[in-house]
């Protein structure tokens, strides 16, 4: 019992020091003294292995390497944010929020937007049990062991802090620039290549299959948002943020609360000087409506909330020279001009290529080979040419015109009327075939393990694979005959191909590479059609546009794809090879099928999330705004502008009890 008590006291003492250091920035012991305490605990646990628990600070050193990450479904989607690129767009967003809530001078929270990797931490009865990446917002990667190595993340919340039975928190893992520089210096000395920037280093560290590597990286975290919380409720974002430090979570000290547009613009204008004074990278300011009930009333779009926006800070720009302009071909046949640049560093990343988007953009900016140009990383990710500095233009330069033939197959390219992108129409173009196959086998699609780009190149160039359906005709002997492919590797790929046949309709539809249809839209289609691909293939544009989140352009792309004879043959061949879809829960046909509900006010009988689930099961949909297409408005206490608009449009208005009675 004495040893057990010693171990418990050491664990509590070390955890308290972690909180003092990472949460309150007020350490009471030196790093050396901290290491002595940790070694003492390690010694006692080594002598008494039965007393080692998962929440011990010694368990942060890393677990045995994984072969791959498992997937984790978020109980509540981790939404991305819409961007405001300037003050005018911040003002416009505030106006939309005021219009949605029906009053002015709203309370907001302003938070620095960290340039790191978003994660979710899950606690049950105060014990950290699961950690994951954001992923696509619905499904992330299980990186629990890697997150455990970050000392700023509590492995256990003390019982005396009254943690709820289920607690999900979201945060951003990042690295301060000083630690990043030190890490790169060590890598250079040991002969390893340096990391490009702190964000890439942080993201790469969390995706290590060997958490022992992650443990050696100086990662930090700031927590900023709730997921699902059971057994405890919060009224506002500020109340939630104020509670986090008492549970041992670090919160950014620069978060502020204020009212109205004056507060938003003042904080946004100070963002640049704030960024320059921080020890870590930020790329904007996040503004959120503070009240959770107001957030619910405003609702969400398909992938972003209406109650929050990211005010982007001025992008870092540099000048360099255009050495050449080349036409690049994408998997959809889009021909894109790419500027080949004299390498230059932008925001910690060395850039040698930048997009020029299309011929219209080249003409508008008048970019030529030999020009000195101003470039920036658009959205902090994709480098783009902002403008040509014509005062420095060499003599005898000529305007650049995209070739009228495909840069790969040399067939004529076509630019549809009303579109800015020119496309290669040859579906058998090798570059398109390779691109479609690489997309088809990728992780978010059919996820065929071991099927790399080099193998795709060889199979297409040899003529063995002409389309995605040909993948399912391959034999071990054919694959083993490729360069650097042995019998064992070939057999493993065949196993991966066979395993991919047991999939979901959403994965398959996404893998087909239909223009404008991404992973999220594929899941929407799967849910609407109940996993029945035949119904989707026969659907007309009118039916497709009636589906929530499927717009006219996307509907036309879907309809055109499945009407094309070549595509029909390829899809049929894939299905004939044995591809089967997992069952999906189908909405129950009812009088509400195809109807639209809007929920407003402070709902007391159920949450908006539960309401959405209820109506979707009946084949209806929940919308965040009232329009002439709205069939029912369900109004709780405090309903405002949406109720007034519904009355003006003559929409059926229900109380919560009337809604429950009606759908039952």
Let me know if residue 435 belongs to a domain: yes
Q: Given phi > 0 = left and psi -120 to 50 = alpha, else beta, which region is 381?
A: alpha
Of the listed ranges 15-24, 255-264, 390-399, 406-415, the one predicted with least confidence: 15-24
Q: Please tell me the predicted confidence (pLDDT) of residue 380.
A: 47
The CA distance from 507 to 523, in Å, is 8
- DSSP codes, 413-439: EE--TT-S-EEE--TT-HHHHHHHHHH
Q: Please tell me the predicted confidence (pLDDT) of residue 571.
A: 96
Q: Please compute the mean of the pLDDT values over residues 434-457 and round it to a whole number.
A: 89
Q: Is 401 exposed, middle or buried (0-12, 13-18, 19+ CB in 10 A)?
A: exposed
Do 344 and 487 lie in one domain? The reply is no
Signed CA dihedral, 644, 646, 651, 656: sign only: negative
pLDDT of 270 higher than 50: yes
pLDDT of 373 higher than 90: yes
List the structure tokens of 169.
């928190």
* pTM summary value: 0.59
> Three-class SS of residue 208?
coil
**pLDDT grade for 458, boundaries at 50, 70 and 90:** very high
Let me know if residue 589 belongs to a domain: no
Of the listed ranges 19-28, 458-467, 478-487, 521-530, the one predicted with least confidence: 19-28
**pLDDT grade for 587, boundaries at 50, 70 and 90:** low
Of the listed ranges 156-160, 188-192, 269-273, 434-438, the one predicted with least confidence: 188-192
Let me know if residue 416 belongs to a domain: no
List the structure tokens of 294.
């107001």
pLDDT tens digit sequence for 152-198: 999 999 888 999 999 999 999 999 989 988 998 888 888 888 887 78
Do 304 and 328 lie in one domain? The reply is no
Let me know if residue 122 belongs to a domain: yes
pLDDT of 204 higher than 70: yes
**361 and 343 Cβ atoms separated by less than 8 Å:** no
Let me know if residue 307 belongs to a domain: yes
Q: Please tell me the predicted confidence (pLDDT) of residue 504.
A: 93
Structural domain for 647, as ranges:
596-663
Q: Please tell me the predicted confidence (pLDDT) of residue 301.
A: 73
**pLDDT grade for 381, boundaries at 50, 70 and 90:** low
**pLDDT grade for 548, boundaries at 50, 70 and 90:** low
pLDDT tens digit sequence for 279-290: 998 889 999 999
List the structure tokens of 99.
């219009």
Do 99 and 229 lie in one domain? The reply is yes
Q: Is 384 exposed, middle or buried (0-12, 13-18, 19+ CB in 10 A)?
A: middle
The rounded mean pLDDT for the chain is 87
pLDDT tens digit sequence for 290-333: 999 899 888 887 678 899 999 988 766 789 999 999 998 887 88
Let me know if residue 153 belongs to a domain: yes
Q: Indicate which residue of 11, 113, 288, 523 is catalytic.
A: 113
The CA distance from 577 to 494, in Å, is 13
Domain boundary among 461, 485, 500: 500
Q: Quickly tell me which residue has 């071991």 as its tokens.
A: 450
pLDDT tens digit sequence for 326-358: 998 887 888 999 999 999 887 667 889 998 988
pLDDT of 379 higher than 60: no
Do 611 and 520 lie in one domain? The reply is no
Q: Please tell me the predicted confidence (pLDDT) of residue 618.
A: 79
pLDDT tens digit sequence for 213-222: 888 899 999 9
Do 194 and 259 lie in one domain? The reply is yes
Do 306 and 237 lie in one domain? The reply is yes
Do 164 and 281 lie in one domain? The reply is yes
Domain boundary among 277, 292, 312: 312
The CA distance from 558 to 549, in Å, is 14
Query: What one-character DSSP code corresponds to residue 158?
Result: -
pLDDT of 570 higher than 90: yes
Give the CATH number of the domain where residue 57 resides.
1.10.287.610
Do 301 and 155 lie in one domain? The reply is yes
pLDDT of 585 higher than 80: no
Do 91 and 7 lie in one domain? The reply is no
Let me know if residue 78 belongs to a domain: no
Do 297 and 321 lie in one domain? The reply is no
Higher pLDDT, 342 or 545: 342
Q: Please compute the mean of the pLDDT values over residues 512-525 and round it to a whole number.
A: 88
Give the CATH number of the domain where residue 340 resides.
2.40.50.140
End-to-end Cα, the chain, rounded Å: 58
Q: Quickly tell me which residue has 């022992």 as its tokens.
A: 212
Q: Please tell me the predicted confidence (pLDDT) of residue 474.
A: 94
Q: Please tell me the predicted confidence (pLDDT) of residue 261.
A: 95
Domain boundary among 312, 345, 362: 312
List the structure tokens of 451.
């099927």
The CA distance from 108 to 238, in Å, is 9
**Nearest partner of 633 among 619, 618, 620, 651, judged by Cα:** 651
pLDDT tens digit sequence for 71-92: 888 988 888 888 888 899 999 9
Give the CATH number of the domain where residue 469 resides.
1.10.150.20
Let me know if residue 75 belongs to a domain: no
Q: Please compute the mean of the pLDDT values over residues 374-392 and round it to a whole number.
A: 78
Do 368 and 494 lie in one domain? The reply is no
Give the CATH number of the domain where residue 628 resides.
3.40.50.10190
Tally of domains within the chain: 6
443 given a catalytic annotation: no
Do 264 and 180 lie in one domain? The reply is yes
pLDDT of 110 higher than 90: yes
């Amino acid at each position: 019992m004495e040893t057990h008590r010693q171990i418990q006291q050491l664990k509590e003492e070390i955890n308290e020091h972690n909180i003092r250091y990472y949460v309150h920035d007020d350490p009471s012991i030196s790093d050396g003294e901290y290491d002595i305490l940790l070694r003492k605990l390690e010694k006692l646990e080594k002598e008494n292995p039965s007393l080692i628990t998962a929440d011990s600070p010694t368990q942060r050193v890393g677990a045995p390497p994984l072969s791959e990450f498992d997937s984790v479904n978020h109980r509540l989607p981790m939404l991305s944010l819409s961007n405001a690129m300037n003050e005018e767009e911040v003002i416009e967003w505030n106006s939309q929020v005021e219009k949605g809530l029906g009053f002015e001078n709203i309370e907001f929270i302003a938070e620095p937007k960290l340039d790191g990797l978003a994660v979710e931490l899950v606690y049950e009865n105060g014990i950290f049990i699961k950690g994951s990446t954001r992923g696509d917002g619905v499904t992330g990667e299980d990186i629990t062991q890697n997150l455990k190595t970050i000392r700023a993340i509590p492995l256990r919340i003390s019982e005396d802090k009254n943690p709820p039975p289920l607690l999900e928190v979201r945060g951003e893992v990042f690295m301060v620039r000083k630690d990043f520089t030190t890490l790169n210096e060590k890598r250079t000395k040991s002969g390893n290549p340096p990391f490009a920037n702190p964000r890439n280093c942080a993201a790469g560290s969390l995706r290590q299959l060997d958490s022992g590597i992650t443990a050696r990286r100086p990662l930090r975290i700031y927590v900023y948002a709730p997921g699902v919380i059971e057994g405890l409720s919060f009224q506002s974002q500020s109340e939630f943020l104020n509670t986090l430090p008492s549970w041992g979570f670090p919160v950014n000290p620069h978060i502020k609360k204020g009212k109205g547009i004056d507060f938003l613009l003042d904080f946004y204008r100070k963002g640049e000087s704030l960024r320059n004074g921080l020890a870590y990278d930020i790329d904007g300011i996040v503004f959120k409506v503070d009240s959770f009930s107001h957030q619910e009333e405003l609702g969400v779009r398909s992938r972003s909330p209406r109650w929050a926006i990211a005010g982007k800070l001025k992008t870092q720009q540099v000048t360099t020279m255009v050495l050449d302009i080349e036409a690049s071909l994408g998997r959809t046949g889009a021909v894109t001009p790419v500027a080949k640049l004299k390498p230059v560093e932008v925001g910690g990343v060395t850039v040698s290529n930048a997009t020029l988007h299309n011929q219209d953009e080249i003409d508008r900016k008048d970019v030529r080979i030999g020009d000195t140009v101003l470039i920036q990383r658009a959205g902090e990710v994709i480098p783009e040419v902002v403008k040509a500095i014509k005062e420095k233009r060499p003599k005898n330069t000529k305007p650049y015109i995209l070739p009228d033939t495909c840069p790969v197959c040399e067939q004529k390219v076509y630019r549809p009327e009303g579109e800015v992108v020119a496309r290669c129409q040859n579906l058998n173009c090798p570059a398109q075939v390779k691109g479609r196959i690489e997309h088809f086998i990728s992780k978010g699609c059919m996820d065929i393990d071991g099927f790399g780009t080099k193998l795709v190149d060889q199979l297409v160039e040899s003529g063995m694979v002409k389309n995605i359906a040909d993948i399912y005709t391959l034999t071990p002997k054919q694959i083993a005959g490729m360069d650097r492919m042995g019998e064992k590797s070939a057999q493993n790929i065949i196993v991966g191909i066979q395993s991919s046949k047991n999939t979901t309709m959403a994965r398959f539809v996404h893998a087909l590479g239909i223009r404008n249809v991404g992973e999220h839209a594929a899941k929407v289609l799967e849910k609407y059609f109940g996993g029945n691909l035949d119904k989707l293939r026969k659907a007309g544009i009118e039916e497709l546009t009636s589906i929530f989140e499927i717009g006219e352009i996307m509907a036309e792309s879907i309809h055109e794809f499945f009407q094309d004879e070549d595509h029909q043959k390829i899809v049929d061949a894939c299905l004939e090879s044995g591809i089967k879809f997992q069952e999906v829960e189908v909405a129950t046909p009812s009088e509400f099928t195809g109807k639209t509900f809007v929920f407003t006010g402070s709902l007391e009988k159920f949450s908006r999330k539960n309401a959405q689930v209820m109506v979707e099961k009946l084949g209806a949909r929940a919308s965040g705004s009232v329009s002439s297409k709205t069939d029912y408005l369900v109004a709780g206490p405090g309903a405002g502008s949406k109720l007034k608009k519904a009355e003006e449009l003559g929409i059926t208005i229900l109380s919560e009890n009337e809604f429950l009675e009606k759908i039952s």
